[in-house]
Structure 1
Amino acid sequence: MIRSMTGFSRQIVEIASETVTIEIKSVNNRYLDIVVKMPDDFSFIEEEIKSVVRKSVKRGRIDIKLKWKNNLGSSGQEINKELLIHLVNQSRLVAEELNMDAPTNIDRLLLVNGVVTDKKVVIEENFIKESIISSLKTGLKEFNSMRFDEGQRLKEDIEYRLNVIRELLAGIKDSQNTVVEEYREKLGQRVSKLKTEGLEFDESRLLSEIALFAERCSITEEIVRLESHLIEFVKTVNTGDSVGRKLDFLLQEINREVNTIGSKANNYNIAKIVVDIKGEAEKIREQIQNIE
């Protein structure tokens, strides 16, 4: 089953006094690009995270964001006494040099960055890694489920438009049978007019001209190749692999055959149908840009 390249998942895991939120979201991208954002203290699990994601996702830009929240609240704060004492001593020295009274209120000093900090609970790295990776795998299942559901909707729309193209192609095949005959009639009318004006015309040349026209405007090969591409497109859509690039290539081939048909057919009805087919192909192209 095909998968969309867009998806989202959020998981929350408790690790000691920390609450960790893991967000996974993705957007379209030609290749696989994994971006992980997390606090520097936990960067040791970044490569492990990327390795797990690579096993589950083949294409797209994948953003993994880890947010950490300390649950200790105010009771989880502590004063850096060494830094506070240093600041008090420095303020006294400055006061003596300037012949001023040294400040006795330390409330403002407590606002200095680094004086009051959150307590850090020591957690083993292996425990952190196991908890994060386990939650990540759960998130990836939810993430992929969303991508599968979206992929199914894309598949249904693509198959509908492929059926429309087949119906339009049937109209081209019907019109193809009348192209040469219409040309024969028009050419015959011109020849008849020339004869009424007393001009002679070689009948064998007339037949040669009709045969040359029939060969020049023949679109049988293009129709056969187009039908083959449509069959292969359906097969590819129904495979379980990462098929976005192959579908894009097949659509290019479909467009190439349709353009050739339009340029060779030399018929108004066929030209009109070609425009309709190209319109449906463009809608398919927009859809497959989102397929992994």
Structure 2
Amino acid sequence: MIKSMTGFSRVEKVSGPYQFRVEMKSLNSKGLNIINQLPGYLSMKEIELNNLVQEYVSRGKVQTRVQVKFLEPPKVLEIDKNVVRAYYSMLDEIVGELSLPEPVKLSDLLNFREVFRIELSDEEIENIWNHLVPILREALEKLVEERKKEGQKIGADLKRILEDLSSRVEEIEKISDQLPALYREKIKEEVEKILPQDVSVKEDILENHVAFMATKADIREEITRLRSHIKRALELIESDEPVGMNLDFLGQEMLRELNTILSKSISGEITSLALEGKVLVSQFREQIQNVE
């Protein structure tokens, strides 16, 4: 069954000396757009994270947010003394200019996050990453499941639209099969109005006119192609593969066939049915904008 491009997952777990929180959100996108929010010391792992996401998702805007809490003190925690001095100088200047009664305190300086710098060894970073990967996979699996659930709803709507479109095509075909006889009757009536009563029309001339009109308005090929597109779309809806772009292409082709039918139509009923078909195809194309 098709998958939606929208979904959300969250996994919180303790693994080793770390507590992880991973959130993933996916939205509509023409292609695959990956956006990551990682702790600075894991920035070197962003490419590996991108490759991991691509194992599970092929289309959509995927946003990943990772938070890591150390359950044991990290091996290296430094204070940037130059940054502390700069902040102290700035705050002390403000205190003097505003004649504030309270001097600058250590607690004031500790509010600035830039004061602290975590310098982790490559070994520590690799250890964090190895604990994080299984949690990322779990979050991605949950994300895919959410996208599948949403995809089932979209698939049901798409099937309903295609069934309605198929019924319109059947009605169009029934009417088009009756057109030659209708053309013959209509042409004969028009000719009899124009010619005197004692003048008759040769049957072969009348039939030639009927054949010409029927050929001009022949829509059998368009109907055959429409049915083929509907059948293929129904097959793709049942697929587990990413088919959003293929469905969008089929929607364009259905619209093309209906436009051709409208340009050939000399029947008010066929015109009305083809217009209804165009509305259904528009609904179809709107829905598949959310399909992976």
Aligned pairs for 1:226-245 (under 5 A) are: 226-245=226-245
| Higher Rg of the two aligned structures | 1
Q: Structure 2 vs 1, CA of residues 106 and 116 (structure 1 numbering), >3 Å: closer, same or farther? A: farther
Say if 1:80 and 1:115, in contact at 8 Å, map to a contact too: no
Q: CA separation in 2, counterparts of 1:278 and 1:85?
A: 67
Q: 1:16 to 1:262 in 2, by over 3 A?
A: same
2: CA distance between counterparts of 1:217 and 1:115?
75
Q: Find the counterpart in structure 2 of residue 112 from structure 1.
A: 109
TM-score by length of 2: 0.82
Give 1:101's aligned residue: none
Q: Deviation digits for residues 44-89 of structure 1, max 9, x if unmatched?
A: 221111111011101111111123456789xxxx9959669979xx
Inter-CA distance 252–80: structure 2 relative to 1 (3 Å threshold): closer
Aligned residue for 2:21?
A: 21
Q: Which amino acid aligns with 1:4?
A: S
Residue type matched to 2:125 in 1? Answer: E
For structure 2, the 5+ residue unaligned runs are 94-101
**For residue 259 of structure 1, what is the amino acid of its counterpart?**
N
Corresponding residue for 2:252? 252
Kept in 1, the 8 Å contact 2:41–2:120? The answer is no
In the alignment, does 2:140 pair up with 1:159? no
Report the counterpart of residue 9 of structure 1 in structure 2.
Answer: 9
Could you tell me whether the CA contact under 8 Å between 2:26 and 2:63 is conserved in 1?
yes
Structure 1: 5+ residue stretches without partners:
95-104
1:146-194: CA deviations, max 9, x gaps? 0001111111111111111111111111111222222211211121122
Percent identical among aligned pairs is: 29
**Distance in structure 2 (CA, Å) of the matches to 1:110 and 1:9:** 37
- In the aligned structure 2, how far is the partner of 1:189 from the partner of 1:276? 31
The equivalences for 1:192-207 within 5 A come to 192-196=192-196, 201-207=201-207
2:230 counterpart letter in structure 1: L
Give TM-score scaled by structure 1 length: 0.82
Report Cα offsets for 1:16-55 as digits up to 9, x if no partner.
6754321111111111111111222221221111111011
Work out whether residues 15 and 128 of structure 1, in 8 Å CA contact, stay in contact via their aligned partners in 2.
no
Which position in structure 1 is the counterpart of 2:96?
none
Give the aligned residue type for 1:256.
R
Tell me, yes or no, if the aligned pair for 2:258 and 2:274 is still in contact at 8 Å. Answer: yes
- Check conservation: 1:4, 1:291, Cα contact below 8 A: yes
The CA distance in 1 between the partners of 2:172 and 2:144, in whole Å, is 41
1:280 partner amino acid: L
What number of residue pairs does the alignment pair up? 275
CA shift, 1:284, in A, is 0.9
1:143 deviates by 0.4
Q: How far apart, in 2, do the equivalents of 1:30 and 1:171 lie?
A: 36
Mapped to 2, the partners of 1:279 and 1:272 lie a distance apart of: 11
- Listed as ranges, the matches of 1:275-290 within 5 Å are 275-290=275-290
Q: Is the 8 A contact 2:8 2:23 kept in 1?
A: yes
CA contact (8 A) 2:84 2:109 kept: no
1:197–1:112 CA distance, 2 compared to 1 (3 A): same
What is the letter of the counterpart of residue 273 of structure 2? Answer: I
Q: Which residue of 1 aligns with 2:189?
A: 189
Q: Using the alignment, how far apart are the partners of 1:84 and 1:43 within structure 2?
A: 23
* CA distance, structure 1, for counterparts of residue 84 and residue 9 of structure 2: 47
Which stretch of structure 1 is more off in the superposition, 199-208 or 58-67? 199-208
Q: Residue 55 of structure 1 aligns to a residue in which SS?
A: helix
Contact 1:162 1:230 in 2 (8 A): yes
User: Mean Cα displacement is larger for which, 9-18 or 188-197?
Assistant: 9-18
Q: Matches of residues 1-292 of structure 1 in structure 2 within 5 Å?
A: 1-14=1-14, 19-69=19-69, 108-112=105-109, 124-196=124-196, 201-292=201-292
Return the offset for 1:15. Answer: 5.8
Looking at structure 2, the residues matched to 71 and 186 of structure 1 have their Cα atoms a distance apart, in angstroms, of 89
| Contact kept? 1:176, 1:265, Cα under 8 Å | no
For the 8 Å contact 1:84–1:109, the answer to whether it is kept is no
